Homo-oligomer: A and B are copies of this chain.
Amino acid sequence: MLDRAAWIKAAIDLLADGNLDGLRVEVLAKRLGVTKGSFYWHFKDRRDLLDAVLDDWKEGRIRDIRKQTAADPGEELGAIRHTIAIYSAARNRRGIAIERAFRVWARQDPRAAAVVEEVDAVRLDCARRLFLARGLPAGEAAARSILLYAYVFGVALMHCDGFDADLNAARNRITELIAE
């Protein structure tokens, strides 16, 4: 007895294990222990699922972002550090994999691109607020917001495990470079 929410949840899970091309109806059904006869009861077609996944992700992301960047006055620096730490590759590997999958998806699907753009707009705006509260001028706050998120998404695409002896120290230095 599945509903759309269960399919969407499993779809995002499958997405995290690969990319959009790995998100197949029959593979998903097998994971859920049913056949695709069930799928086509809940969804018109594959595109219907993809759109639902995009909506689900968008809402969840925007809610989380607003929660994570809500800082009491004077606590903005901690909130910035926390935002960077959340995407630290060490833990939260799952969350990063999902982010990457959606962003790669956005490169080959206009609807996904629109959703990612909306999410990024919220993200950047929330980050900018934190930098502005710290007294940075508008242009500087905007630049640092872009740098912050470009960095966290960029490290998710790199393989720098064997580069520095102390990667944690490097991470802390980078955090301070961005957060000031």
Q: Which residues of A does B touch, CB under 8 Å?
A: 18-19, 21-22, 97, 100, 103-104, 106-108, 113, 116-117, 120-121, 124-125, 139-140, 142-147, 149-155, 157-164, 166, 169-171, 173-174, 177-178
Contact = CB atoms under 8 A, between A and B. Distances in A.
Contacts of A174: 143-144, 146-147, 150
A157 B157 contact: yes
B162 A117 contact: yes
Copies in the complex: 2
Contacts of A100: 104, 107, 157
Q: Is the interface of A mostly helix, strand, loop or mixed?
A: helix
A60 to B, nearest CB: 18
B154 A150 contact: yes
A18 to B, nearest CB: 6
A163 B103 CA distance: 17
A120 B19 contact: no
A115 B7 CA distance: 36
B154 A166 contact: no
Contacts of A106: 159
B19 A159 contact: no
